[in-house]
Structures are given as structure tokens and as C-alpha cells.
């Protein structure tokens, strides 16, 4: 078997070992790890985009970058069925309560990716703007931040894989939120 780097391995390989017995084998694993493995490989994103980052997000979903290779293809139009919200774009003061409400409506476990400069810090709208929230983490807790304005689809894929690694590592939600790696 070729040497697969850990960062690919972690998200896809089933956690456990096969204990051979006569006529077959028994898979030995931990239930927590199996649950995390299942969760990380089937993260359903919410259809949520407020500006140009959403175009890059759509591109990431489209055939050229195709995030379904990593288990993200089931984009949901309702927060009740979504696992991860990708904040793709500027959050203005008027949008903030809507974002909070969408996040509150998502079922646990739920994850948040702040995509691009606006969602991370307000970005180009940090100074001299009356309407923009200076970072979506003022509204809801963020698990993974992506730099860029807008980030390339590769950067979004990297963030999604980073989130998968955090989940497979077995961190609790609180640990994921505070993890700076």
C-alpha cells in the first residue's frame, strides 16, 4: 500500500483494526472514534453566502474542485439539516441577527467556518464603515478561519479538511473552538 500522508489518511480511513479469527475477522474499534469518523466524512454545509466568497464556494462545489470528494456535496437549504455553516461573505449589522438565528436552528453537532477576510475580521470594511460586523466571531463561535479576499477554492477545501481532522481527532466542541492549530 502506498504511503498516504496523514492529513488525507485521518479523514478517510476507518478507525480500528481487524482481529482475524477462523473464517473471517472481527473489527475492533471505539464507538466514539467510529462516530467521529462518520461525522467528519459527511458534513452537510448550509447554503449560505452573503457576497463574493459565495462565488468561490459555488466553484468549490462545482465539478472542477468538487468538494463531494470529501463528503460535502449535500448542501442544505435549511439550517435544521446542516452540520456546518460556511460564512461566505461580509456580515453586516442587519444580517447579524439572521446569522445568529440560523446558527441557533442548526442541530448539534454543528461547526462554523469563517471564509475570507470579511467573515474573519471585517476585512476591507474594517475602517470607516458604519454597517459591517468586524468579524463573524462576534456573533457565533468559529472553528476554522480562512484568509483571502476571496480565498481560492483550494483554501476552502483545506479549511474543510482541517475541520475534518479536528473532528476525527475526537475533540469536543469546546476544544475545537479553542484549538488554534
- Chain residues binding another protein by CB under 8 A are 93-94, 126-131, 134
Smaller CB separation from another protein, 30 or 101: 101
Nearest approach, Cβ of residue 122 and another protein (Å): 9
Angstrom distance (rounded) from CA 86 to CA 59? 14
Nearest approach, Cβ of residue 91 and another protein (Å): 13
Smaller CB separation from another protein, 128 or 172: 128
Backbone angles phi, psi at 111, to 5 degrees: -130, 155
Cell numbers that stand for 80 in this block: 435544521
Nearest approach, Cβ of residue 158 and another protein (Å): 30
Smaller CB separation from another protein, 105 or 131: 131
Nearest approach, Cβ of residue 93 and another protein (Å): 7
Smaller CB separation from another protein, 13 or 131: 131
Amino acid at each position: 500500500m502506498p504511503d498516504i500522508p496523514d492529513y488525507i489518511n485521518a479523514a478517510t480511513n476507518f478507525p480500528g483494526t481487524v482481529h482475524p479469527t477462523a473464517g473471517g475477522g472481527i473489527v475492533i474499534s471505539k464507538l466514539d472514534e467510529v462516530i467521529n469518523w462518520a461525522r467528519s466524512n459527511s458534513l452537510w454545509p448550509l447554503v449560505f453566502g452573503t457576497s463574493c466568497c459565495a462565488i468561490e464556494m459555488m466553484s468549490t462545489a462545482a465539478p472542477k474542485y468538487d468538494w463531494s470528494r470529501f463528503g460535502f456535496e449535500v448542501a442544505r437549504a435549511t439550517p435544521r439539516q446542516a452540520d456546518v455553516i460556511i460564512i461566505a461573505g461580509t456580515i453586516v449589522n442587519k444580517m447579524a441577527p439572521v446569522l445568529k438565528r440560523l446558527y441557533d436552528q442548526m442541530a448539534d453537532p454543528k461547526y462554523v467556518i469563517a471564509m475570507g477576510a470579511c467573515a474573519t475580521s471585517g476585512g476591507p470594511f474594517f475602517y470607516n464603515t458604519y454597517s459591517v460586523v468586524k468579524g463573524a466571531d462576534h456573533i457565533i463561535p468559529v472553528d476554522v478561519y480562512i484568509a483571502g479576499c476571496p480565498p481560492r477554492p483550494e483554501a476552502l477545501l483545506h479549511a474543510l479538511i482541517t475541520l475534518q481532522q479536528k473532528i476525527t481527532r475526537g475533540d469536543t466542541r469546546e476544544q475545537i473552538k479553542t484549538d488554534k492549530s
